[in-house]
């Protein structure tokens, strides 16, 4: 009681059935999870934004669309791309 089959190599472009199965999810984006860190540090930065004249000026420019670059105000934070803006405080 054996099986009667033959194994035959086909290049990917000629093996359209297998190629189509391996690519069936490529056109359908999927999202597995979304998470957001809620750190107390973010709350401290939000408070600093409210107290800082320099950051308030930047925020005003962002809200008026006058800030140069990829500045955004989201979730109470001033962001430049993936970075969060803070004011440097020197000695």
Residue-wise pLDDT for 31-42, tens only, equals: 556 566 667 888
Token code pair at residue 28: 């359908």
pTM, 2 dp: 0.55
Burial of 78 (0-12, 13-18, 19+ CB in 10 A): buried
Strand order in the sheet with 71-74: 71-74, 77-80, 83-84
Q: Work out the pLDDT band at 20, boundaries 50, 70, 90.
A: low
Task: Say which range, 27-31, 55-59, 67-71, has the weakest mean pLDDT.
Answer: 27-31
In whole angstroms, give the CA distance from residue 72 to residue 59: 9
């Amino acid at each position: 009681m054996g099986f009667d089959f033959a194994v035959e190599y086909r290049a990917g472009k000629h093996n359209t059935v297998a190629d189509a199965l391996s690519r069936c999810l490529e056109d359908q984006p999927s999202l597995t999870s979304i998470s957001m860190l809620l750190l107390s540090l973010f709350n401290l930065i939000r408070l600093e934004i409210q107290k800082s004249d320099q950051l308030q000026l930047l925020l005003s420019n962002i809200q008026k669309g006058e800030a140069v670059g990829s500045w955004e105000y989201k979730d109470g934070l001033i962001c430049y791309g993936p970075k969060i803006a803070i004011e440097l405080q020197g000695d």
